[in-house]
Amino acid sequence: MTTDRAVDTARSSAAPAQCPVGCLAHRPDDLLTWANLVTVVRTLVCVLLAMAAIAGHGRGLLAAALVVHWIGDVADGLLARRLDQETPTGAVLDIVADRLCVAVVYVGFVVGSPEFAVALGVYLVEFMLVDAVLSLAFLRWPISGPNYFARVDRLVWRWNWWPPAKVANSAVPALVCVLLESPALALALAVALLVLKVGSLIRVVGRLQRRGEVCGARHG
């Protein structure tokens, strides 16, 4: 509750010059940034490589698509921080681009290895649906992206956007599929991730409900 009051205060009283990095009013929102350009380019390259792999040009292209996605995802985030270009529009673009890349790459894995269909189906539901809603929830608070969700709920941030958690949430299922060739383990990991994301989303929705009750009480 205290955190929510602090967030509301920052929204109503902080001027752009006073707003720290990660705050919604820290800088003007902008689509045309170098970081967003990297996001668009790495997404296009990833999708082209993955579609070529699906069309029958080899699993090496699929691995290349996954590498382009991972490296590009790190690069655009790093560039946004270094150039102070973190904006809500950029964060949404990154969230949507990640899901497009993961969808085409994992469909490619299923085409070549149908034994992973159930595991990757669960993972896609977790990432494309539950995690998408969870990631976009940052828009309900005056922060520039989910990387700053610790200012809203530190536990949810630690489960989902703390750097080690981000690596585990995105890289583990692919590594299991490629390196261990274990559909059972891949399914177990996908289910575990789904439970984690559902739990995180329930916690965030609960926080939004409490916040709405406080706002209603103030204006009642």
Q: At what angle do helices 59-82 and 88-112 cross, to 10 degrees?
A: 170
In the predicted model, what is the mean pLDDT of residues 73-82? 93
- Tens-place pLDDT, residues 115-137: 999 999 999 999 999 999 999 99
Tokens coding 15: 């001027």
Q: Which CATH class is domain 2-219?
A: mainly alpha
Cα(174)–Cα(146) distance, integer angstroms: 23
Most confident by average pLDDT, 40-49, 72-81, 110-119, 164-173: 40-49
Tokens coding 59: 């699993």
The pTM assigned to this predicted structure is: 0.85
What pLDDT band is residue 99 in, cutting at 50, 70 and 90? very high
Cα(35)–Cα(93) distance, integer angstroms: 10
Collapsing DSSP to helix, strand or coil, 33 comes out as coil
- Tens-place pLDDT, residues 188-200: 999 999 999 999 9
pLDDT at 169: 82
Residue 106 amino acid letter: Y
Q: Does 16 have pLDDT greater than 50?
A: no
Number of neighbours of residue 122 by Cβ within 10 angstroms: 20
Tell me if 79 sits within 8 A of 34, measured CB to CB: yes
Average pLDDT, the chain: 86
